[in-house]
Amino acid sequence: MYILGIESSCDETAAAVIKDGREIYSNIIASQIDIHKVYGGVVPEIASRHHLDGILPVIYESLSEADITLADLDGIAVTFAPGLVGALLVGVASAKGLALATGLPLYPVHHIAAHIAASFLLDQAPQTPFISLVVSGGHSHIIRVVSMTEYEILGSTRDDAAGEAFDKVARAVGLGYPGGPLIDQASTGGNPRAIRFPETDFGDGNFDYSFSGVKTAALNYLNQMEQYRSRKPELYEKYFNLADFCASFQFAITHALTRQLMEAAAAYPSEDIILAGGVAANRSLRTALEAACMETGRRFICPPPQLCTDNAAMVGALGYQLAIAGVEPATGRLDAIANLPIDIWAKNLKYLS
């Protein structure tokens, strides 16, 4: 079964052809990251315009690289929620047009579920049920995946997403955008224990995240260092080292992510742990989770970085899962939705048809 996946929820315009939900025939991405660097993040209107320019060439290229035609396809899967409405609309409208013209079934994909489905593209696919940690610029979720059409949110962020904390602190320390990879890079050789950040713990039985406290502590520290630099340069020399700061900040975020995830997963001791989303490309997070999983004797699965950041292969992979689960294809009424929790999406799949 060949599925064409289409993704345009944020700054990547992407299309991919996936065979049987496992095999990547093509995976084309037109990234706008250089365009949005100027703004320190995605600007929706600019993103929409670039999606519009990029979507059809990207779809053509995905078909030609896979060496198949529209007639060979068995379905189309498109990300319709959550994300920037203007950006999502470009993918949704294109997918609806294609589905209408070809008569192919159209599967409405949830962006976070697609990130989770990326792990099905690995040689060792996970077995449901499993526990996933989805971390990106806009999301930090611990989700128990009962099946690819049934999800349980065990914890999520109460304030800032992990990627957002990286972006804001990277901007404050003058590293630029995107914050995660730049802080990761700048932390090389730094001592992760040089600075200890306050930890937020909501207490027993609650696996929510809060990155606001770590972010604020980091910014307060940077302000203080800035004042030292102008008034007491000897103290600035003594207490500020960029690599140490980045390594310690990264450690604080990684530690919080790992701790909450492992605590949430403790009730399901035999289930695999899946790491997904853009921040999953972060080396220290991968290392920490790998170690935590090994310690508890669990299987740890994390797609390679190119399948962690936004792409359409994961959309095609999820489209296949929806198709074999018997989800009714969406109709022409399908519309982009900015805000839609994954569990609500799954429960309402039948209403999208």
Contact between 157 and 211 under an 8 Å Cβ cutoff? The reply is yes
Contact between 244 and 190 under an 8 Å Cβ cutoff? The reply is yes
Name which position in 19, 31, 35, 41 contacts other proteins (CB under 8 A).
41
Give me the 236-275 binding string for other proteins, x by CB under 8 A, dash otherwise.
---x------------------------------------
Name which position in 43, 93, 146, 292 contacts other proteins (CB under 8 A).
43
277 binds other proteins (CB under 8 A): no
Contact between 160 and 212 under an 8 Å Cβ cutoff? The reply is yes
Distance between alpha carbon 92 and the CA centroid of its chain, in Å? 19
Residues 200-229 that bind other proteins (CB under 8 A): 212-213, 215-221, 223-224, 227
CB of 232 to other proteins, least distance (A): 9
Can you read off the two tokens belonging to residue 309?
A: 């950041």
CB of 39 to other proteins, least distance (A): 6
Give me the 67-96 binding string for other proteins, x by CB under 8 A, dash otherwise.
----------------xx------------
146 binds other proteins (CB under 8 A): no
Sheet of strand 2-7, all strands in order from the earlier edge strand to the far edge: 23-31, 12-19, 2-7, 75-81, 106-110
Name which position in 103, 174, 198, 203 contacts other proteins (CB under 8 A).
198
257/240 Cα distance (integer angstroms): 25
197 binds other proteins (CB under 8 A): yes
Can you say whether the dihedral through the CA atoms of 196, 197, 203, 208 is positive or negative?
negative
Q: Which of the ranges 32-40, 92-100, 103-111, 292-300 carries the binding residues for other proteins, by CB under 8 A?
A: 32-40
Q: What are the backbone angles phi and psi of residue 45, rounded to the nearest 5°?
A: -65, -45
Within a 10 A sphere around the Cβ of 161, how many other Cβ atoms?
21
Beta bridge partners of 147: 150
CB of 348 to other proteins, least distance (A): 15
Name which position in 235, 242, 243, 292 contacts other proteins (CB under 8 A).
235
CB of 278 to other proteins, least distance (A): 11
Name which position in 31, 102, 128, 156 contacts other proteins (CB under 8 A).
156
CB of 291 to other proteins, least distance (A): 21
DSSP string, 76-128: EEEEEESS-HHHHHHHHHHHHHHHHHH---EEEEEHHHHHHHGGGGSSS---S
Give me the 288-327 binding string for other proteins, x by CB under 8 A, dash otherwise.
----------------------------------------
Distance between alpha carbon 293 and the CA centroid of its chain, in Å? 20
If binding means CB under 8 A, how many residues of this protein chain bind other proteins? 46
137/308 Cα distance (integer angstroms): 12
Based on CB atoms, which residue is closest to other proteins, 121 or 175?
175
Can you read off the two tokens belonging to residue 326?
A: 């018997």
15/46 Cα distance (integer angstroms): 20
Name which position in 52, 122, 194, 243 contacts other proteins (CB under 8 A).
194
Name which position in 138, 181, 190, 329 contacts other proteins (CB under 8 A).
138
Q: Which residue is associated with the tokens 């997403």? A: 161
**Site of interaction with other proteins (CB under 8 A):** 38-45, 83-84, 137-138, 156-161, 163-164, 167-168, 172, 193-198, 212-213, 215-221, 223-224, 227, 235, 239, 338-339, 341
